[in-house]
Structure 1
Amino acid sequence: MTPASDAHSALELKTLGHRIRHYRVQKGLTLDELGAAVGVAGSQLSLIENGKREPKLSLLQSIAVATGTSVQDLIAGGPPNRRAALELELERAQSSPVFRQLGIPPVKVSKSISDETLESILGLHHELQRREREAIATPEEARRANTELRLRMRERHNYLPDIEKLAEKQLAAAGHTGGALSHRTVSIMAEQLGFELIYVNDLPSATRSITDLENGRIYLPPASIPGGHGLRSMALQAMAHRLLGHKPPTDYADFLQQRLEINYYASCCLVPETAAVAYLEQAKKDRNLAVEDLRDAFGVTHEAAAMRMTNLMTTHFDMRLHFLRVGAEGHIERVYENDGLPLPEDVTGSIEGQVVCRKFSARDAFDQQNRTTEHYQYTDTPAGTFWCSTQTGSRSDGDFSITVGVPFDDARWWRGRETQNRQTSTCPDESCCRRAPGELADRWRGKAWPSARVHTHIFTPLPRGTFPGVDDSTVFEFLERHAG
């Protein structure tokens, strides 16, 4: 018998015990009096009424006769009264995995505990269950939360003025005056918040950094890892939690919001608004806007520079644009658009994970021989013509592309506007790139049987926990190792 069926049987016995007690009390009999009538000791009846012993059918028949009921009355139906229902519901709640993992001893119900007290305790259990359900977002709920966040940010032009101001204030306090943000300045910013940056080799694999609030330490991966952009960003993100007054996230939507805010703060520090806007103003005046120039001027990654443009271009230059990070197989990994570029989406409104049109620059760039320079392209779509600049790159799990684009009329401000590369996309019409040409389909229909690669991530549950995917025990063990 499984643990679940064991628990179910135990509750059935307890319900039976409550019904026997109810009819015994209704008849005005004590345990000993009923025991004498049915030929067993009162103590044996007590075990039965408490659900700790299962009575034989012959005994049930004797109890039914003695209490003026029937065996059917004793074994059928639910709890006999409100009190019994409360006790059984509490028994069920205290046997749940959610409660047991707290390590709190269960409440032992006695006659001295009032119905109101039981109701209050059950209310706490219900809230515990509710929070647990919210903490474990389904993939559909996670996609909806992500979509809602993306739409809110689109309404704000992907621009958060309060965080922009906070970043400029912290940079000024640390003495940063311009150029690429140095690791030394990031360390000073941490010190001003009461933190020391420590680089270690044994961070838990599910974490990017760990902040020791008690001892004022921010633990980061080794400083010797290739490139320095990530380390500066990770340190700034860790500081942002403190500066923005974040509390442990209450649900997945809150977690996503916090992640967006710390990423935004780090971007504001690495590419400060005042300096970046001045740089972009000059580039626009010269009709020479380019992601790669902003990247090199501030010493950040191509993706960071591209995303920073989404924060600043609409608010400061009234220029709508789109950003895409796309994997080599065409799946959209990260997206922002406020220029009307037609993008695929599922029934929840989610764009991430969808396959972008093959005619888009984001995919066409993978076929270019020279992938060290930006690939420029005009794309005619049902929503109009868009100009795009795409840069490709590689990582441990495959290639990816970073695209920034604008509607046709704004292409005149960007380097690469003279390109003769042009594609026509009619997506979401499947004849555009999802359906094989007629002759080819006729030639091979029914004659091909590909062995599909299973994407194992579709079987993986959404990470749970206060900080999704992070095991508290590994974090606490790490902190204990380094606490000395």
Structure 2
Amino acid sequence: MDNAGWNRSTTSTRKDPGAGQEGELDIIALGRRVRHLRKKKSMTLDDLGAKVGTAPSQLSLIENGKREPKLTLLQHLAGALDVGMDQLLGAEPPSRRAALEIQLERAQRGPLYESLGLPKVRVSSRLSTEVLESLVGLQHELERRLDEQSATPEEARRANTELRAEMRAQNNYYPDIEREAQNLLQAVGHDRGPLSHHVAADIAEHLGFGLHYVGDLPHSTRSVTDLKNHRIYLTQGQRSDHDPRSVLLQAVGHYVLGHTTPVDYADFLRQRVYTNYFAASLLMPERATVEYLKEAKAAKELAIEDIRDAFAVSYETAAHRFTNLATEHLGITCHFQKVHESGIIHKAYENDGVNFPADHTGAIEGQAVCRFWTSRAVFDIPDKFRAFNQYTDTAVGTYWCTARTERHSSGEYSLSIGVPYAHVKWFRGRDTTERSKSGCPDASCCRRPPAGLSAQWAGNAWPSTRANSHLLAAMPQGAFPGVDETEVYRFLQAHSTP
């Protein structure tokens, strides 16, 4: 596959400042269209005013987008200009110049231009087309750079939502990445079984990269790749939260998939998902993993912990990989959750219709999971050695879920895989007697205190909340959010010296 095929980015659609909402009259565009049609008929404002019975000064305000005409005047204008109402109110600007005039007028009436404190340019026939092109181009470039530098948490949530929709549409399966991983595995002679640190290093070497283990890796990074000298720098310390093989393979993935510097947060997020997928497809090769899963399905013994043990990966990696292959190769729809001990969703995926909590943007991350779901109930289970299995009746059907908890530096998390009731027959643990009922998103399910407790304590409790200052923090700036590029460049400079 051509690497350029994986250099993907998203382009946001911006509505020009000053444009009317859907269904509203765009008075700036209307005014430019009236002026264009008037001049096309070689009419002055006085001529048009005499035909429609309106003062030329009033028509000038309409042409400059500063006054909205009444319907009767619109009808008179259409008649005087020999056009239908549809043409008079059409969406397309009548000429390239008119389009530029409309864009500049909208921009100057928008909040960004207002915030700059600059004088407004009078848009008239005396303003050359070249000047219009420059002013509109400058405005668009300023907007693009501000968008690139200051992604908000809401924009990040929207990017997450869009990416999850893409993953759902693909059943979280990316055949092009699978092929790239298979080609690499064949090149280094790895066929089946757990992928060792030695084979991971062979993959990097095959691609022309030398591995350098250092003790001064920039604190904001897991690895640093020197594309100039084809070196990958890794830390000497053992960070328990991250499998060293995954860190190396993700670094390799950026190179193999042809990634370039992210153009925005959505592009950055997409690249991370693709490289994580790439690393998992090397640690758990498609052919061998699918063979294993099909055998387990035939025996009705599918279990995430068995997949974890068979390929020597973390439970989270095994669960993620199951979502990649379950629908494509086994015909099983599913969902995945990583939930913090506070009940907040950290990561999630679904293509089985489960009703994840979501905000107005459709974002799932950061939302509280129903306390009756398996991903919450597992925290109260004393047996941490074996998986906890539970059926949950929800408003959209019954789901069976299997979950475990793992401790990380940021707290304890539950990792769960769930399937609709129709698919549970293939899984070990289907005979569980654990069952719960969730009424969420109905607030009476678990978001409001029981009536008895409320009657006794409402108005008599004043908790001191833990300050979640991170909720107010802006998204980190830069092409690689959260990474100190100066620190990275100084690191590379220091290590590139012979």
TM range (shorter): 0.7 to 0.9
In 1, are the aligned partners of 2:476 and 2:482 still within 8 Å (CA)? Answer: yes
The letter for the 2-side match of 1:280 is L
For the residues of structure 2 that align with 1:256 and 1:397, how far apart are their CA atoms? Answer: 21
Give the direction of change, closer, same or farther, for the CA distance of 1:181–1:352 in structure 2 (3 Å limit). Answer: same
Match of 2:160 in 1: 146
SS at 1:370's partner residue?
A: coil
Structure 1 residues 282 and 474, CA gap change in structure 2 (3 angstroms) = same
Candidates 191, 199, 203, aligned match of 1:189 = 203
Q: CA deviation at 1:216?
A: 0.7
Paired with 2:132 and 2:239, the residues of 1 have a C-alpha distance of 58
Q: TM-score, normalised by structure 1?
A: 0.74
Report the counterpart of residue 412 of structure 2 in structure 1. Answer: 399
Q: Distance in 1 between matches of 2:195 and 2:232?
A: 18
TM-score, with length taken from structure 2: 0.72
* Uncovered stretches (5+) of structure 2, i.e. residues with no partner: 1-103, 117-126
1:191 deviation in Å?
1.1
C-alpha distance in 1 between matches for 2:397 and 2:132: 61
Residue from 414, 418, 431 that aligns with 2:431: 418
Offset at 1:131?
2.5
Quick one: distance in 2 between partners of 1:213 and 1:289?
42
Q: Give SS of 2:467's match.
A: coil
Structure with larger RCO (C-alpha < 8 A, sep 6+):
2
1:276 to 273, 289, 306: 289
Give the whole-Å Cα distance in 1 for the aligned partners of 2:129 and 2:202. 56
* Paired amino acid for 2:165: L
1:319 is the counterpart of 2:332: yes
1:204-283 equivalences in 2 (<5 Å) = 204-222=218-236, 224-225=237-238, 230-283=243-296
Q: What is the deviation of 1:182?
A: 0.9
**Cα shift readout 1:138-193 (whole Å, capped 9, x = no counterpart):** 11111111101101110110000000011011011011121111111111111111
User: What's the offset of the Cα at 1:246?
Assistant: 1.0
SS at match of 1:247: coil
- 1:447 maps to 460
After TM superposition, what 4+ stretches of structure 1 lie above 3 angstroms from structure 2? 114-128, 226-229
Query: Which structure has the larger Rg?
Result: 1
1:118, CA displacement in angstroms? 7.0
Distance across 1 between alignment mates of 2:259 and 2:485: 18
Q: 1:481 to 1:127 in 2, by over 3 A?
A: farther
Instruction: Give the distance between the partners of 1:219 and 1:447, measured in 2 at CA.
Output: 57
- State the alpha-carbon separation in 2 of the partners of residues 252 and 282 from structure 1: 40
Residue 366 of structure 2: which of 338, 350, 353 is its match?
Answer: 353
Match of 1:65?
Answer: none
Between the aligned partners of 1:172 and 1:117, the Cα distance in structure 2 is 57
* Aligned-residue offset at 1:199: 1.4
Q: Secondary structure of the residue that 1:406 maps to in structure 2? A: strand
- Choose which of 365, 376, 379 in structure 2 pairs with 1:366: 379
Q: Would the aligned equivalents of 2:241 and 2:409 in 1 still touch at CA under 8 Å?
A: no
Asked if 1:162 corresponds to 2:188, the answer is no
Distance 1:124 1:381 in 2: 52
State the identity %.
48
CA 276–460 in structure 1, closer or farther in 2 if over 3 Å, else same: same
1:465 aligns with 2:490: no
Residue type at the aligned position of 2:162: E
Say which of 214, 218, 234 aligns to 1:200: 214
Q: CA deviation at 1:128?
A: 4.0
Gaps of 5+ in 1: 1-84, 98-113
**Residues 118 and 471 (structure 1 numbering): CA distance in 2 closer, same or farther, change over 3 Å?**
farther
Is contact 2:392-2:400 (8 Å) kept? Answer: yes
**Offset at 1:251?**
1.2
* Alpha-carbon distance in 2 for matches of 1:209, 1:226: 12
**Aligned match of 1:294:** 307
| 1:410 shift after superposition | 1.0
Which residue identity is paired with 1:178? R
3-state SS of 1:376 partner: strand
> How many angstroms apart in 2 are the aligned matches of 1:330 and 1:228?
20
Offset at residue 424 of structure 1 (A):
0.6
Give the whole-Å Cα distance in 1 for the aligned partners of 2:443 and 2:240: 42
How far 1:130 moved relative to its partner? 2.5
The C-alpha deviation readout for 1:239-273, integer Å capped at 9, x for no partner, is 11111111111111111111111111001001110
Question: Could you tell me how far apart the structure 1 residues matched to 2:264 and 2:282 are?
Answer: 28
Structure 1 residues 31-77: Cα deviation after superposition (integer angstroms, max 9, x where no partner): xxxxxxxxxxxxxxxxxxxxxxxxxxxxxxxxxxxxxxxxxxxxxxx
Q: Is the 8 A contact 2:241 2:408 kept in 1?
A: no
Deviation, 1:237, is 1.0
Equivalent residue pairs, number:
376
Distance 2:205 2:444 in 1: 58
CA apart distance, 1:119 = 6.7
Matched letter for residue 399 of structure 2: F
| Secondary structure in structure 2 of the residue aligned to 1:470 | coil
1:340 is the counterpart of 2:353 = yes
Distance 2:161 2:356 in 1: 13
Deviates more, 1:389-398 or 1:355-364: 389-398
Q: Quote the offset at 1:409 in angstroms.
A: 1.7
Deviation of the 1:120 alpha carbon: 7.0
Structure 2 SS opposite 1:402: strand
Residues 229 and 301 in structure 1, CA contact (< 8 A), matched pair in contact too? no
Q: Following the alignment from structure 1 to structure 2, what is the Cα–Cα distance between the partners of residues 339 and 116?
A: 54
Q: Which moved more, 1:192-201 or 1:263-272?
A: 192-201
Shift of 1:460: 1.4
In the alignment, residue 288 of structure 2 is paired with which amino acid?
A: A
2:158 alignment partner, SS class = helix
Structure 1's 282 and 347: CA in aligned 2 closer, same or farther, altered over 3 A? same
The whole-number CA distance in structure 1 between the counterparts of 2:471 and 2:151 is 15
